[in-house]
């Protein structure tokens, strides 16, 4: 299953593949921006397509998570275990959101680490009962900040843990 997906992404136009990768949980724009740079997109194209792709699943998740999770948890024990685990982990990782609410949600989504992006931010907004009218702009703000941080890291402007990636400016 993974190999056909990799093949499709390698054959897809870089902009489309960047949007698609940014839509995926776990990878989100943290994986899409480095991928876009590797495929030759400029920093502003990489940022724009990754941010757009990362936002696409936000609205459906915020509006459907409760309904879908309730249905699946009632009907299937495996989904019940999954959502119980997901909600427990998100509550544990969501101390920032619990303390600062909407601002905490912005910061939580903005932190460019695995499992702190838009997908988990949507789950946290649901669990901590942040109204959608506040959650949507907060998640967008977090996506914009995360995109800037990841882009700057890929360009070698900032580094994490002493690891710097310097992108070549030659064609």
Q: For residue 117, what is the DSSP state?
A: S
Q: Which residue has the higher pLDDT, 4 or 18?
A: 18
Q: How far apart are CA 121 and CA 127, in angstroms?
A: 10
Confidence band for 170, pLDDT divided at 50, 70 and 90: very low
pLDDT for residue 160 = 63
Angle at 106 between CA 80 and CA 82, to 5 degrees: 10
Helix (H, G, I), strand (E, B) or coil at 138: helix
**Helices assigned H by DSSP within 94-131:** 95-110, 118-127
Could you tell me how many helices (H) and strands (E) the chain has, helices first? Answer: 9, 0
Mean pLDDT across the stretch 74-83?
A: 95
Tell me the three state secondary structure of residue 143: helix
- pLDDT of 91-128, one tens digit each? 888 888 888 999 999 999 999 887 789 999 999 999 99
The domains of the chain are located at 1-171
């Amino acid at each position: 299953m993974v190999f056909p997906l990799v093949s499709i992404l390698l054959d897809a136009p870089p902009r489309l593949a960047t949007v698609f990768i940014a839509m995926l949980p776990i990878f989100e724009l943290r994986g899409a921006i480095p991928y876009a740079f590797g495929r030759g997109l400029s920093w502003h194209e990489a940022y724009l397509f990754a941010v757009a792709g990362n936002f696409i699943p936000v609205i459906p998740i915020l509006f459907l998570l409760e309904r879908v999770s309730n249905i699946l948890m009632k009907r299937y024990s495996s989904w019940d275990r999954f959502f119980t685990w997901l909600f427990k982990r998100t509550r544990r990782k969501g101390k920032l959101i619990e303390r600062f609410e909407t601002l905490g949600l912005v910061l939580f989504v903005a932190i460019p680490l695995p499992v702190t992006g838009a997908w988990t931010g949507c789950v946290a907004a649901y669990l901590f009962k942040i109204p959608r009218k506040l959650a949507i702009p907060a998640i967008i703000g977090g996506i914009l900040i995360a995109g800037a941080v990841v882009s700057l890291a890929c360009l070698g402007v900032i580094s994490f843990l002493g690891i710097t990636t310097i992108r070549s400016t030659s064609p």
